[in-house]
Chains A and B, each alone.
Chain A
Amino acid sequence: KQEVTQIPAALSVPEGENLVLNCSFTDSAIYNLQWFRQDPGKGLTSLLLIQSSQREQTSGRLNASLDKSSGRSTLYIAASQPGDSATYLCAVGAGTALIFGKGTTLSVSS
């Protein structure tokens, strides 16, 4: 059974710092991996989608990588800002629906 783990569960950094969020999964037979952002009490906003044939995707200050063979993905956030404070969820597509990790809650202080 596919399991998705995110480390760390929480992270606090000062503004301007570059940071990496980690996601690991147990079964490499996936269609894709998706990173989401969730603000308190809100729905999910898709940040990046990496198909299984791709190695990375970039959007602005965000860069996500995927290493299927090792079952790992990272989300790199450059020059963090207080507005980046949120919970970041990764999810793997394998079958009908997405399988989610529990998320990393990021706090960026000014």
Chain B
Amino acid sequence: DGGITQSPKYLFRKEGQNVTLSCEQNLNHDAMYWYRQDPGQGLRLIYYSQIVNDFQKGDIAEGYSVSREKKESFPLTVTSAQKNPTAFYLCASSIGGTSYNEQVFGPGTRLTVL
């Protein structure tokens, strides 16, 4: 079955640590996205990539970094510069690189800072 996988499901980070969240899709989609969700809030865009080896910052990119070396993979690194990283992180993908195309979402990773 085609879809998006995210790992791990739960992640715990100590102060000062960098952690990497995995996102893989087998839908042959060109575009991939990372969103952050805080309790009682809508999703906010962190980074997006419309094509391999290219990505752009979203609304809240500070303290995060990404790479897009393969079409199917779009890992997100939460760096120590992100002061309040505890949140639910959702990865999505779409056929094209604009919101004209329907986005499919993964199951999410919950990150907690200890």
Residues of A within 8 A of B (CB): 4, 31-32, 34, 36, 41-46, 49, 89, 91-103
Main secondary structure of the interface of A (DSSP, over half): strand
A43 partner, pick from B44, B98, B105, beta carbons under 8 A? B105
List, in ascending order, chain B residues with CB within 8 A of A49's CB.
102
* Complex CA–CA separation, A44 to B102 (angstroms): 12
List, in ascending order, chain A residues with CB within 8 A of B98's CB.
31, 93, 95-96
Residue of A nearest to B38 (CB): A102
Q: Once the chains bind, are A100 and B42 in contact (CB under 8 Å)?
A: yes
Chain B residue total in the interface (Cβ 8 A): 28
* Complex CA–CA separation, A97 to B104 (angstroms): 12
Q: Once the chains bind, are A97 and B48 in contact (CB under 8 Å)?
A: yes
Q: Once the chains bind, are A44 and B42 in contact (CB under 8 Å)?
A: no
B105 partner, pick from A32, A44, A94, beta carbons under 8 A? A44
Q: Which 6 A-B pairs have the closest CB atoms?
A: A93-B99, A100-B42, A44-B105, A31-B100, A43-B107, A97-B45
Q: Once the chains bind, are B90 and A43 in contact (CB under 8 Å)?
A: yes
Q: Once the chains bind, are A103 and B42 in contact (CB under 8 Å)?
A: yes
Q: Of residues 1 to 48 in B, which have CB atoms within 8 Å of A's CB atoms? A: 6, 33, 35, 40-45, 48
User: Shortest distance in angstroms between A98's beta carbon and chain B's nearest beta carbon?
Assistant: 5
B103 partner, pick from A34, A101, A102, beta carbons under 8 A? A34
List, in ascending order, chain B residues with CB within 8 A of A42's CB.
107-108
- B106 CB within 8 Å of chain A: yes
* Complex CA–CA separation, A45 to B107 (angstroms): 9
Q: Once the chains bind, are B103 and A98 in contact (CB under 8 Å)?
A: yes
Q: Once the chains bind, are A43 and B99 in contact (CB under 8 Å)?
A: no
Q: Of residues 82 to 109 in B, which have CB atoms within 8 Å of A's CB atoms? A: 88, 90, 92, 97-100, 102-108
- B110 CB within 8 Å of chain A: yes
Residue of B nearest to A42 (CB): B107
For B58, B99, B110, which residue has the most chain A Cβ atoms within 10 angstroms? B99
Q: Once the chains bind, are A102 and B100 in contact (CB under 8 Å)?
A: no
Residue of A nearest to B88 (CB): A41
For B40, B48, B100, which residue has the most chain A Cβ atoms within 10 angstroms? B100
